Amino acid sequence: MEKIVAGIDIGNSTTEVCIAEIDAAGNLHFKSSSGVSTTGTKGTLENIKGIKEALNLGLGKIGKSIQEVSRIYLNEAAPVIGDTAMETITETIITDSTMIGHDPSTPSGEGLGIGETLWITKLDTAAYDKDYIVMIPTEIDYIEAAKLINESKKHITGAIVQNDEAVLIQNRINRSMPIVDEVKFIERIPEGMPAAIEVAGTGRSVQSLSNPYSIANLFKLTHEETRRIIPIAKSLIGTRSAVVVRTPNGEVKEKMLPAGKLRIESENGPCHEVAIDQGADKIMAELSKTPNILNVEGDNGSNIGNMISRMKQDLYKRSLSAMDQIRIKDLLAVDVLVPIDVKGALAGEVSQEKAVAVAAMVKAERLPMELLAQAVYEALGIPAEVAGVEAVMASLGALTTRGSTLPLAILDLGGGSTDAALLQNDGTAQAVHLAGAGRFITMLINTQLNLNNLSLAEDIKRYPLAKVESLFYIRLETGEVKFFKEPLSPKVFGKVVVCKEKELIPIETKHRLEKIAMIRKSAKKDVFVQNALRALRQVAKDHDIRTISNVVLVGGSALDFEIPHMILEELSYYNIVVGKGEVRGTEGPRNAVATGLILSKVGSVW
Ligand code: ADP
Ligand code: MG
């Protein structure tokens, strides 16, 4: 009688199932496979929900039910949990003297206006010998505002408007002046203070207020004060209009937290210390000097110290280890530019600051897979056993890729970690698990583009971009033009969009397409090219990558439209044959571990 067996791989992100039939003669036939999102932290009883779902999905495809399965094989999941966090190296400091506001879509007039701030309703009582920048709050509409300006004999050099009415006012006044509108927090601007506004011509960006020395000149700043307004000038680069107001001293207090140092403790060597503000390359160089990392710590009261303790707290909540046993075993640092809110800003301005993003990995105690197997048996009534080590199983599965041969290296590009294994002819394997994988890339995209939307960031990672240039065509990031018979939704007109299968998803950001694509590509490269090299080096004989002759890529991130090419390009320098897995010729880079589980138990007739 034939029997049905299932291999189940519980990953950080995905639970994958492989279903096979063993016929009366003992021959193995692969029948079906499936994958669902892992429920809960891997290795915990919460996984059972996902296991059941994945089994039902896989069995449904061949018209079978759970009761017909005679055995389940679970993998000895690698006891690693990956997490990511990010901290800026520097904090933007904007002290006492300045407030800013800028970047409406429709400013009006052109040029630079300098004067004292004054509410428009007080023009009557204003002096004749002063220059004024009038402030027009929501309550005063454009007709009223234009009337007040036209009737006044005072010297008005510019206007700041709370509503989106700059053009409407400009069209009705008898003189020309720069007008900036959409200044959301107009009430925060103090009256009677020196201010400068600038509006650039169409298609141009402000020149004076984005230059620290021009601001210093306009406001007669000292050298020290000039240093402190640099973030302001930076946040105004590329905008079409700007407002800078000198505010009374002490309004915005300076605060700064040191970036801090990382301390890398090794099992049997000296500790290494590295300052975070030396950047990612230096951090990674120090890490690579420490072969057996025992733990990584950050200074107390520093940015990195706070980040590491937050991370440990979080991992502690999700893992089964005691807090003092949480040890960071690997870390991946990446240099990034992140948008930071400018303090004292009038319209939510941000400044780009250099930062380091870090993904860390914690090694837990051995995950209690036996307990999980027992619980699976109780929940489903099917005998379940823990059948093999994840890395070896992945290699066995990957080996079903036509054209691959032993000794075989695999790179498992997952969600939480990048794993590598080297399987020798005699069946022994060497494996490593490194911090940083697919989820880290998604986070890098989310943060650097200031999206606050992880699912949009995930889409940006997975699909190409395009610019909607008219209602009937889009220009893809490759430069190619694609036409449509039906008009596109006006909602996407003029926007940068993600081309997701049949859908165009608009990205609500000011960033240009090239910038978004660049951030996407560099995130992928920084994470996976770097990790591929680190991981292969660690499993290779004598840590020499050139001793490896072929590499099969497996895991969810091997489905990416760019990552495999990037790795291939890099490894070609070392004469290594590398390609995406074709597990069983039908699964692509997916299902390697689940397939390996069955092969390891039942032999390799397929
Ligand atoms: P794990 O083994 O850790 O559970 P997986 O092998 O399932 O992880 O990989 C999950 C990762 O793969 C996620 O970060 C996800 O974003 C990524 N991923 C899945 N499909 C694609 C795709 N088509 N393109 C790019 N990345 C993908
Ligand atoms: Mg996996």
What pLDDT, on the 0 to 100 scale, is given for residue 220?
86
Indicate whether residue 92 lines ligand 1 (CB < 6 A): no
Indicate whether residue 414 lines ligand 1 (CB < 6 A): yes
Confidence of residue 84 (pLDDT cuts 50, 70, 90): low
How far is the centre of ligand 1, averaged over its atoms, from the C-alpha of 12 (Å)?
10
Indicate whether residue 404 lines ligand 1 (CB < 6 A): no
β-pairing verdict for 194-199 and 241-246:
antiparallel
* Exposure on the CB side of residue 151, measured as CA atoms within 13 A: 11
DSSP state at residue 606: -
Indicate whether residue 438 lines ligand 1 (CB < 6 A): yes
Domain 90-253 falls under CATH 3.30.365.10: no
**Best of 14, 81, 458 to mutate for ligand 1, by most ligand atoms within 8 A of CB?**
14
What pLDDT, on the 0 to 100 scale, is given for residue 365?
66
Q: Which helix (H) or strand (E) segment is 354 a member of?
A: strand 350-363
Contact partners, residue 248, CB within 8 Å, separation at least 6: 96, 190, 193
Confidence of residue 320 (pLDDT cuts 50, 70, 90): low
How far is the centre of ligand 1, averaged over its atoms, from the C-alpha of 521 (Å)?
16
CATH hierarchy code of domain 405-462+510-580: 3.30.420.40
* b (16+ CB within 10 A) / e for 12-25: bbbbbbbbbbbeee
Atom of ligand 1 nearest to the CA of 561: 24
**CB 576 within 8 Å of CB 568:** no
Question: Please, what is the average pLDDT of the chain?
Answer: 87
pTM value surpassing 0.95: no
Confidence of residue 348 (pLDDT cuts 50, 70, 90): low
What average pLDDT score do residues 183-196 get? 85
How far is the centre of ligand 1, averaged over its atoms, from the C-alpha of 40 (Å)?
16
What pLDDT, on the 0 to 100 scale, is given for residue 97?
46
How far is the centre of ligand 2, averaged over its atoms, from the C-alpha of 263 (Å)?
30
How far is the centre of ligand 2, averaged over its atoms, from the C-alpha of 555 (Å)?
6
Q: How distant, in Å, are the alpha carbons of 15, 19, 23 from that of 57?
A: 12, 11, 22
What pLDDT, on the 0 to 100 scale, is given for residue 182?
84
Atom of ligand 1 nearest to the CA of 16: 7
> Which two tokens mark 245?
């107001």
Asked if the model's pLDDT at residue 397 lies above 50, the reply is: yes
What pLDDT, on the 0 to 100 scale, is given for residue 366?
65
Q: Which amino acid is at 481?
A: V
How far is the centre of ligand 2, averaged over its atoms, from the C-alpha of 603 (Å)?
22
Asked if the model's pLDDT at residue 121 lies above 50, the reply is: yes
**Best of 8, 10, 12, 13 to mutate for ligand 1, by most ligand atoms within 8 A of CB?**
13
* Residue-wise pLDDT tens digits, 35-48: 999 998 888 889 99
Indicate whether residue 31 lines ligand 1 (CB < 6 A): no
What pLDDT, on the 0 to 100 scale, is given for residue 256?
57
What average pLDDT score do residues 392-412 get? 93
How far apart are the C-alpha atoms of 181 and 164, rounded to whole Å? 5
Higher pLDDT, 253 or 137: 137
CATH hierarchy code of domain 82-87+258-363: 3.90.470.30
Q: Which ligand is nearest to the CA of 38?
A: 1
Whether the domain at 1-79+364-400+583-606 and the domain at 90-253 fall into the same CATH topology: no
Higher pLDDT, 204 or 7: 7
* b (16+ CB within 10 A) / e for 178-196: bbbbbbeebeebeeebbbb
- Structurally, what CATH architecture does the domain formed by 1-79+364-400+583-606 represent? 2-Layer Sandwich (3.30)
Domain ranges across the chain: 1-79+364-400+583-606, 82-87+258-363, 90-253, 405-462+510-580
Q: Which ligand is nearest to the CA of 42?
A: 1
Q: What percent of the chain has pLDDT over 70?
A: 89
Highest mean pLDDT: which range of 84-88, 341-345, 504-508: 504-508
Q: Residues within 5 Å of ion ligand 2 by Cβ? A: 11, 414
What pLDDT, on the 0 to 100 scale, is given for residue 88?
56
